[in-house]
Amino acid sequence: MRSSMRCSLRKGTRYWILPHQNRGQQFDVPKEMPGGLPFMKTEDYQYFGSLLNGEINEEELSPDEQKERKIMKLVLKVKNGTPPQKKTALRQLMDKTREFGAGLLFNRILPLLMQPTLEDQEHLLVKVIDRALYKLDELVRPYVHKILVVIEPLLIDEDYYACVKGREIISNPSKAAGLATMIVAMRPDIYNIDEYVWNTTARAFSVVASALGILSLLPFLKAVCQIKSSWQARHTALVEALAPYGIESFDLVLKPLWKGIRSHLGKVLVAFLKAIGCIIPLMDAIYASYCTKEVMVILIREFQSPNEETKKIVLKVVKQCVSTEGVEPDYIRNDILPVFFRNFWVRRMALDRRNYKQLVETTVEIANKVGVADIVGRIVEDLKMREQTSDDAKVMLNGFGALVNSLGQRVKPYLPQICGTIKWRLNNKSVKENCIDLVGRIADRGSEFVPAREWMRVCLELLEMLKAHKKGIRRATINTFGYIAKALGPQDVLATLLNNLNIQERHNFIVSARL
């Protein structure tokens, strides 16, 4: 080390000179991309590594090999390129989709979507598949199963927009390939022992039914339900369909269901809870009360589940149990309410657009059982936020209006306080403009119902609105003055306006002169 340092010091200088290093043998360092290709990540080498081989003469390759190489370049640009590169490559892929062929395209794109390290921006590849399916039409039939294997996980994605995109993509090959091809591709997965596989397959079948029509799928579903070799293929909703009748028919399944909710976890437990939640409302009051207390132990445990789908089913089952006759309000108030509000009435749940509606419905059902006072006492603290967006205004005003309508005459003692609280809203520009327009309409259509002295007082109030900075308010004021002048006669209004001309404010003077 010291010898190298001595060698790198020049005679007569005190400066350190970095020794030259041979970096040719360093690994995991990307080489310079030939032909204007974007940066290639380490995990991309197995898919696009052949593009780095500069010794290949593309003119000597077969037509299929040339197409495959062209597809690799375009897909790499879509995956890792700059926004202009992605846009250009995506357009070229779409223009030449049928020329490239379904086989070459899907053989290069589908393996990329199976990568566990796929980033959010790389989901442009999903858009490529979506548009390619539209272009290829009936040519996608041999590749339907491969496409479904990649796209079906999107149907259970936590991102709502990913689910919507997955449904759109599965809908396209359904219409292009036809029902027979889709059934042949998905039927083996129905009998798969893996819960994840048959769950996503069931959701894919629902998309196919929506795209091609439920009636066309009914014969296949009937045949599947008659199969006795696999219980995974025979999920039904008999209890939900028969409610509120038929408890006698389900006595045989109660014991397996009770055993199942105590032994299973995850999505299997969710299925058992859903079944129990549908059966309890069919029971007599005494049995329903007993079963609710037994199942509530499991439900309270699942309140803390991080899975959003589990929370949705748990909320639904709680709603069903609470609404059942025989469940006592004191039990709900003491054993359910505290833990319910602690786990569900939180900020994260309020921001979840998929589950907050179910939360509101369950809370309303609990309020119907235990009384409004217990619920309002717990949520009123959350109404004290000073922040209010435009989206919140409509909900707040609708809720306030419903409360006033419910109280009726009992709200009279609180009217001064209410008016003082909401009076500041009249200072809003849009509210001012709407109020002035309303006065103008009254003057135009019902002036005879208001005394002339009151109209003169209104004119004096409107003079202040001529100073407004918003042009819409000034325009509405001018129109209202016209309606009042038409109702009373111009001489009375002119006297008020002529007095306003003596004011030194140029802005007010000009508007009065126009009037």
pLDDT tens digit string along 326-353?
Answer: 888 888 888 888 888 888 887 777 777 6
Which tens digit of pLDDT belongs to each residue from 143-190?
A: 888 888 888 888 877 777 778 888 888 888 888 888 888 888 888 887
**Is residue 50 within a helix (H) or strand (E), and if so which, with residue range?**
none
pLDDT for position 388? 58
**How far lies 488's CA from each of 108, 367, 481, 492, 496, in Å?**
81, 55, 10, 7, 13
How many Å apart are CA 482 and CA 489, to the nearest integer?
10
What pTM does this model have?
Answer: 0.49
How many Å apart are CA 266 and CA 385, to the nearest integer?
36
Secondary-structure breakdown of the chain: helix, strand, coil percentages, each rounded to the nearest 5: 80, 0, 20
**How far lies 134's CA from each of 89, 114, 173, in Å?**
17, 22, 8
φ, ψ for residue 499, nearest 5 deg: -65, -30
Query: Which residues in the chain come in under a pLDDT of 50?
Result: 1-16, 18, 21-29
How many Å apart are CA 354 and CA 65, to the nearest integer?
47
Would you kindly state where each structural domain of the chain is located, as residue ranges?
Answer: 60-232, 238-384, 428-514
CATH of domain 60-232: 1.25.10
**60-232 and 238-384, same CATH topology:** yes
pLDDT for position 13? 46
Which string of DSSP letters, residue by residue, matches 231-299?
A: GGG----HHHHHTTS-GGGGHHHHHHHHHHHHH--HHHHHHHHHHHHHHGGGS-HHHHHHHHHHHHHHH
Q: How many CB atoms lie within 10 A of CB 293?
A: 14
pLDDT for position 36? 67
pLDDT for position 29? 42
Per DSSP, which regions of 108-207 are E strands? Answer: none
pLDDT for position 171? 87
Which string of DSSP letters, residue by residue, matches 338-404?
A: HHHHHHHSSHHHHH-TTTHHHHHHHHHHHHHHH-HHHHHHHHGGGGG-----HHHHHHHHHHHHHHH
Architecture per CATH, domain 238-384, reads as Alpha Horseshoe (1.25)
Q: How many CB atoms lie within 10 A of CB 197?
A: 17
**Is residue 56 within a helix (H) or strand (E), and if so which, with residue range?**
none
How many Å apart are CA 140 and CA 173, to the nearest integer?
7
Q: What is the largest CA-CA distance in the chain?
A: 109
Which amino acid type is present at position 94? M
Closest residue by Cα to residue 124 from 157, 173, 91, 158:
91
How many Å apart are CA 382 and CA 80, to the nearest integer?
45
